[in-house]
Amino acid sequence: MSAATDADQALADLFALRGAVPMETPILQPAEPYLDTAGEALRRRIFLTTGEGGENLCLRPDFTIPVCLDHIVSGADLPRRYSYRGLVFRRPRDIDGPNEIEQAGIEDLGETNLAMADARALADALASLETAGLPLERLSVVLGDQGLFEAFLRALGLPDGWQRRLIRTFGEDRLLDEALTALSGGRGAAIDTVPAPLVELARAREEGALTRAIRDLMEEGGLPPHSGRAPLEVAQRLIEKVAIAEARLPDSSLSLLKRFLSIDCALSDAPEIVRALAAEAGLELGRALTFFEARNLALRAADVPLDALRYRAAFGRPLDYYTGLVFEALLKDGGEPLVGGGRYDRLLRLLGAAQPIPAVGFTLWLGRMREATSARTESSDAGEAA
C-alpha cells in the first residue's frame, strides 16, 4: 500500500472515529443556493449550466451546501455529523490553476453546545492534518470571529446599512479598507443622481410618503422600474442608501474600530485584549465576548494549545454564510490554506430547513496536503543523502 493510500485510509478512519457519517452528493447541483448564499468570491468561480427544464444548475463548487440540502431532505435526527470526500469544480483564480479540486471534510449539524462544537471542529481539522504528517508545529493557524466583529459594530452604534456593508467585507482586507475610508469621509453611497425631493423624504425616513412619490414617478415614466421592484422596496432601499451615504463615524469611534481590527495575538491572550479595549471605550460586547471565552475553554478541554494559534480580529473567510468562528491553517513557510472552516448557523434555514439549525464544519484541500507532505519527505531524503 502506498504512502498516499495509507494517509487516505487514516483520514477515513479518523472521520469514522469522530462519528461522522459518510455522505455522497451529486456533482450536478442546483445553482440558486450558491448564488443566494455563498458570496461573490465563490459565485464568480462557479461553472453554470441549464437543465432540461430550464433550471439553473452548476458543477458542485463546494460540499457544505449539498450536505446541508441532503440533510434537510432526509429529515435525519439531530445532532448529526457528516463526512464527505470528492471533487469540487471552480474556475481557477490563476490561468494555470486547476478546475477540479479534491476535498474532504466534516459538517457538524444541530449540536446546541456551540462552544464545544466549534472546538471539536478545529481539533478534528488539526487531527486530520496530523494524519497526513502535518503536525501543529509545522502549521500557522489563524482564527477570526464574525460574531465578535458584528458585536463590536453594534456597540459602536453604526447605522444598520453600514453594519451590513462592513459585515459583507469581513475577510476581504481591500474591501474592508475601502469601506472604512468611505465611512471616515461620509461617502458611503452615491446619491447624486437621485431627485432631491426623494432624498429629503429618505433622510426623514418618511417611508409612506416616499413610497407614494416613487410610485407616482414610476407611473409617469420618470423613474426606472428597478428590474421590477415594488415602490415600497425601492423606498426602503433608498432610505438605507441615504443613511449609508450620509453616515460619518466620529474619529474616536473610527479609531476604536481600527484598533479592534488591528488585534493580532496569541489566541490565549485575545479575550483579555478585546475586553480591555471594550472597557476603555465603554463598549458592551455582551454574549459575543462571553462566548469567545467559553470557546477558548472548550479548545483547552479538547487539548488544542491556544498559545500555538493566532487570533486576528480582521480575519474572515470569503463566504457569506459564515456567522461566527472562522479558521484556516497553512504551512508556516506560506502557501495556500490546507484546511479552512467555520460556523454557519443561518445557512440551513436559508436553504429551507423548518427550524434554525446550528452548524460548523471544515474542509481539507487534499492535493495541497499531499504536496506539503511530499515536499517534507523529499527534503528529509535530501538531508539524509547529504
Binding residue positions for L-histidine? 62-64, 90, 103, 107, 317, 321-322
DSSP letters, 277-318, are: HHHHHT---HHHHHHHHHHHHHHHHTT--GGGEEEETT---S
CA neighbor of 305 nearest in space, from 123, 131, 105? 123
CA neighbor of 273 nearest in space, from 260, 288, 282? 260
Give bridge partners of residue 264 from the DSSP assignment. Answer: 312
Q: All 3 cell numbers of residue 369?
A: 496536503
Check residue 227 and report its DSSP letter. G
Q: Is 111 helix (H, G, I), strand (E, B) or coil?
A: coil
Q: Which residue has the cell 472604512?
A: 180
DSSP letters, 81-111, are: EEEEEEEEE---SSTTS-SEEEEEEEEEES-
CA neighbor of 79 nearest in space, from 54, 44, 108? 108
Residues of each annotated binding site: 62-64, 90, 103, 107, 317, 321-322
Q: Is the peptide bond before 30 cis (omega within 30 degrees of 0)?
A: no
